[in-house]
Amino acid sequence: MITPTTFGPTAPLAVVGGRLATGLRDVTSDLTALDGPGFWAVVLTFEGEATCARFDQVRPAVPWTGARWQGPRRDSWVSSLDRTAFEDGVREIRDVIAAGGVYQVNLTRRLSAPASPAMSIPALGAALAEGNPAPFSAVVHLPQHGVHVASASPELFLARVGDRVWSSPIKGTAATAEGFLAKDTAENVMIVDLVRNDLGRVCRTGSVGVTSLLATEPHPGLFHLVSTVVGRLRPGAGWAELLAATFPPGSVTGAPKLAAVDQIRRLEPVPRGVYCGAVGWVDGDRAQGELNVAIRTFWIAEEHLHLGAGGGITYDSDPSGEWAETELKAANLLRVVSSSEVR
């Protein structure tokens, strides 16, 4: 039987924001604690379950030595939605859009492979750092709390310095910088409007704006369109209020958000868990922090290693093209993680 403590070292740790955090002090689900003292690693599931872990020792992260990642065979991965079911889901979303129920829905599937006691989430984080580097990568390993997460996320959900906050949603994926479609631009602009509305619920009137729209960013194996929305928190608003206004991230729900989440629950056969939630850090002493959108993210639960892949569906979506986009997003990650050793 695989227990929460068998995946890697027994000592808890986090690698977030380029820092290695050790010496776990306490763990809470209370988001108001993030405005108190200390350095916190944060994991939020898509369904809203929060794990906030405060650490006593924080220092610059260095590459791991010793343990090597031992991943599953490439042919052991199975999908929660096969190609037919996923493409049928795209068609159903297009029907709902045509009927006026939503503008866009992010449809995803979960890839899973059996976990083994030899698997170490910190070692997986090191393998990803080498084989799929990402600007908002994170590792959170809390064996006594059943939290085993290694993220290679390219996407910023929320950053905060004092009362200044910003979000950089990604919508639009292509294999080349010239490969974006009109659909990709439409996806991005719709989500920018959603993020502006979300931040407007908790920011000072007139402070919310768009500082970058539809910028092209290269990432391992693909390109994304990225925009940035900024604002200033209202007096008295902290992390709990900010997350209540903005979570889950709009780029992985769709628009309008509540209607899109209803479609997600109807069409996706398993809960998303950590996937499409958020992972990152908060320095309560300095009122700073950074949370990613937990895409390109692996986690261990129910004796399996999991990875999610998906994309935004609009009326112009082609079902086979949307399936191909999920394959593109997962391809490099599966190449790295299905290897028996760090690349």
Predicted structure pTM score: 0.94
Cβ atoms 139, 147 nearer than 8 A? no
309: number of Cβ within 10 Å:
23
pLDDT at 339: 63
Q: What backbone torsions phi and psi does residue 24 show, to the nearest 5 degrees?
A: -60, 125
DSSP assignment of 138-169, as one string?
A: EEEEEGGGTEEEEEEE--EEEEEETTEEEEE-
Q: Which residues contact 70 (CB under 8 A, 6 or more apart)?
A: 116, 118, 119, 120, 123, 340, 341
Please, which residues bridge with residue 188 across strands? none
Query: Any idea which residue has 């996806």 for tokens?
Result: 187
CA angle, residues 109, 2, 28, in degrees to nearest 5:
75
Q: What are the pLDDT tens digits along the chain (343 aa)?
A: 344 445 667 899 999 999 999 999 999 999 999 999 999 999 999 999 999 999 999 999 987 655 789 899 999 999 999 999 999 999 999 999 999 999 999 999 999 999 998 899 999 999 999 999 999 999 999 999 999 999 999 999 999 999 999 999 999 999 999 999 999 999 999 999 999 999 999 999 999 999 999 999 999 888 999 999 999 999 999 999 999 999 999 999 999 999 999 999 999 999 999 999 999 999 999 999 999 999 999 999 999 999 999 999 999 999 999 999 999 999 999 999 996 443 3
pLDDT at 65: 57
pLDDT at 4: 46
> What DSSP designation does 201 have?
T
Nearest to 197 by CA among 255, 112, 115: 255
Q: What backbone torsions phi and psi does residue 212 show, to the nearest 5 degrees?
A: -150, 135
Look up the CATH architecture of domain 13-333.
4-Layer Sandwich (3.60)
DSSP assignment of 289-337, as one string?
A: EEEEE--SEEEEETTEEEEEEEEEE-TT--HHHHHHHHHHHHHHHHHHH
| Single-letter amino acid code for the residue at 109 | R
pLDDT at 117: 86
Q: Which two tokens stand for residue 189?
A: 């602009």
**Residues 4-26, buried b or exposed e (16+ Cβ, 10 A)?**
eebbbeeebbbbbbebbbeebee
Nearest to 194 by CA among 229, 232, 155: 229
pLDDT at 62: 81
Q: Which two tokens stand for residue 95?
A: 């029907």
Please, which residues bridge with residue 299 across strands? 149, 306
Segments making up each domain of the chain, as ranges: 13-333
Please, which residues bridge with residue 152 across strands? 137
